[in-house]
């Protein structure tokens, strides 16, 4: 099970593959440790020696800007050596299997894999087949999970709202194809949010979505009422196998976040987006760049959260003891 493979014999983090199976205490510990790293942004030397002598491999089989860059910065700020693999020019493009790639990298005495892959379960597969001393961090797998993105979102929410117990959160958009949404819903429920609401057209919702622990609405006018946190999602057109929407303009008309629609939510509601943003499709530029937007704050927080998770997974450095 997920909870067994992610934790060591002492119940501490070994791998970080999914939010599912983790508890509130562990998620709060991640947030608290990330908080201790935030102050480094103001220091002249932005480094701590927690992972000095360790080698971390960024194994990205999908394109990424924010995630890959923040993982690289996070590892370097922990004083680790970082190897970022260009998969398009690696041996996997010549027919080498994923397991052979992992075995060859293990022979170079690495300590951690950060994996982004288009197939759901790829990070779990690597964690199950890698050497016992190696930790695996899931940087997004298929439509399954993106746990570090969810945790940086939780960290951002806590910065602005402090307590989860009274919060009503709306996640809007392409829930069906979003690995981020699944991880966000799991994290919000574990941390005790008062309500998680998903707003989307029926064609962009998974079947039995209510079983995830959410309330469903197909109308922004009613769905944004009493909301404290709005999380917009990107339309993942590359994952859509058929025409699920009439047009992007029609989608924006019904589900795009504008200044007028934002006023339906609470006056102090914050607006989030995991990126990349499609302006004029999911969100109006005036909202994305407006005073209630914390989108760039999310990007900044990604470094501290990923530092915390990597440090915790390397237990013997003492970061999580």
Decide: residue 163, CB within 10 A, 0-12 exposed, 13-18 middle, 19+ buried. Answer: exposed
Q: Does residue 276 register a pLDDT over 70?
A: yes
**CA–CA separation, 321 and 319 (whole Å):** 6
Task: Tell me the pLDDT band of 96, cut-offs 50, 70 and 90.
Answer: low
On whether both 81 and 207 belong to a single domain, the answer is no
CB 185 within 8 A of CB 202: no
On whether both 70 and 138 belong to a single domain, the answer is yes
The catalytic residue among 146, 158, 234, 306 is 146
Catalytic: 116? yes
42 vs 246: which has the higher pLDDT: 42
On whether both 70 and 151 belong to a single domain, the answer is no
Specify the pLDDT at position 95: 53
On whether both 19 and 99 belong to a single domain, the answer is yes
What's the average model confidence in pLDDT over 298-319? Answer: 85
C-alpha separations of 59 from 64, 119, 121, 264, 286 in Å: 11, 13, 15, 42, 36
Can you give the CATH number for the domain in which 69 is found?
3.40.50.1370
Beta bridge partners of 168: 195
Planar angle of CA 59, 64, 66, nearest 5 degrees: 110
Specify the pLDDT at position 50: 95
Task: Tell me the pLDDT band of 268, cut-offs 50, 70 and 90.
Answer: very high
What's the chain's average pLDDT?
Answer: 90
Taking the model in full, what pTM does it have? 0.91
pLDDT digits (tens, 9 = 90+) for 159-169: 999 999 999 99
Q: Does residue 10 register a pLDDT over 50?
A: yes
Q: Does residue 320 register a pLDDT over 60?
A: no
Lowest mean pLDDT among 63-77, 181-195, 300-314: 63-77
pLDDT digits (tens, 9 = 90+) for 20-63: 999 999 999 999 999 999 988 777 778 999 999 999 999 998 87
Structural domain span for residue 116: 2-145+300-317
pLDDT digits (tens, 9 = 90+) for 208-244: 899 999 999 999 999 999 999 999 999 875 544 444 5
Closest CA to 169 of 272, 96, 23: 272
Task: Encode 40-72: b = buried (16+ Cβ within 10 Å), e = exposed.
Answer: eeeeeeeebebbeebbbbbbbbbebeebbebbb
Catalytic: 208? no
**CA–CA separation, 204 and 262 (whole Å):** 21
The catalytic residue among 66, 103, 266, 297 is 66
The catalytic residue among 77, 116, 158, 306 is 116
On whether both 140 and 168 belong to a single domain, the answer is no
On whether both 160 and 277 belong to a single domain, the answer is yes
- Structure token digits, residue 104: 């060859």
- Structure token digits, residue 116: 């982004």
What's the average model confidence in pLDDT over 4-28? Answer: 94
Task: Encode 254-266: b = buried (16+ Cβ within 10 Å), e = exposed.
Answer: ebbbeeebbebbe
CB 161 within 8 A of CB 154: no
pLDDT digits (tens, 9 = 90+) for 166-211: 999 999 999 998 999 999 999 999 999 999 999 999 999 998 899 9
On whether both 101 and 233 belong to a single domain, the answer is no
**Structural domain tally of the chain?**
2
The catalytic residue among 14, 15, 54, 67 is 67
The catalytic residue among 94, 208, 241, 316 is 94
On whether both 9 and 139 belong to a single domain, the answer is yes
Task: Tell me the pLDDT band of 97, cut-offs 50, 70 and 90.
Answer: confident
On whether both 166 and 286 belong to a single domain, the answer is yes
Specify the pLDDT at position 98: 83
Q: What is the CA radius of gyration of the chain?
A: 19
Closest CA to 18 of 112, 130, 115, 140: 140
Lowest mean pLDDT among 88-92, 154-158, 196-200: 88-92
Catalytic: 52? no
Task: Tell me the pLDDT band of 265, cut-offs 50, 70 and 90.
Answer: very high
Percentage above 90 pLDDT, the chain: 75
Catalytic: 94? yes
On whether both 186 and 87 belong to a single domain, the answer is no
Helix boundaries (H) for the chain: 2-6, 24-38, 66-77, 98-106, 122-129, 147-161, 179-190, 220-223, 248-255, 259-262, 285-288, 295-313
**CA–CA separation, 232 and 229 (whole Å):** 10
On whether both 266 and 307 belong to a single domain, the answer is no
Catalytic: 146? yes
On whether both 98 and 55 belong to a single domain, the answer is yes
């Amino acid at each position: 099970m997920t909870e067994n493979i992610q934790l060591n014999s002492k119940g501490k983090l070994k791998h970080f593959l999914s939010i599912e199976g983790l508890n509130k205490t562990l998620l709060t510990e991640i947030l608290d440790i990330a908080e201790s790293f935030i102050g480094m942004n103001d220091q002249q030397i932005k480094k701590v020696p927690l992972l000095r002598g360790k080698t971390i491999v960024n194994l990205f089989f999908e394109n990424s800007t924010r995630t890959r860059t923040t993982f690289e910065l996070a590892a370097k700020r922990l004083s680790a050596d970082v190897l970022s693999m260009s998969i398009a020019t690696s041996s996997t493009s010549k027919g080498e299997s994923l397991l052979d790639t992992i075995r060859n990298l293990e022979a170079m005495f690495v300590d951690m894999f950060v994996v982004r892959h288009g197939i759901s379960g790829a990070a779990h597969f690597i964690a199950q087949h890698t050497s016992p001393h190696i930790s695996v961090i899931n940087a997004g797998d298929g439509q399954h999970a993106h746990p570090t993105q969810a945790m940086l979102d939780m960290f951002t929410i806590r910065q602005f709202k402090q307590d989860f117990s009274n919060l009503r959160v709306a996640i809007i958009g392409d829930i069906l194809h979003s690995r981020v949404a699944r991880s966000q819903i799991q994290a919000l429920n574990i941390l005790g949010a008062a309500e998680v609401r998903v707003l989307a057209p029926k064609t962009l919702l998974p079947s039995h979505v209510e079983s995830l622990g959410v309330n469903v609405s197909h109308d922004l006018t009613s769905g944004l009422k009493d909301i404290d946190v709005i999380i917009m999602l990107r339309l993942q057109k590359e994952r859509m196998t058929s025409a699920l929407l009439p047009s992007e303009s029609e989608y924006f008309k019904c589900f795009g976040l504008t200044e007028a629609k934002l006023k339906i939510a609470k006056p102090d509601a914050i607006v989030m987006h995991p990126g990349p943003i499609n302006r004029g499709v999911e969100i109006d530029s005036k909202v994305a760049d407006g005073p209630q937007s914390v989108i760039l704050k999310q990007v900044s927080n990604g470094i501290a959260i990923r530092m915390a998770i990597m440090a915790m997974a390397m237990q013997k450095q003492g970061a999580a003891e």
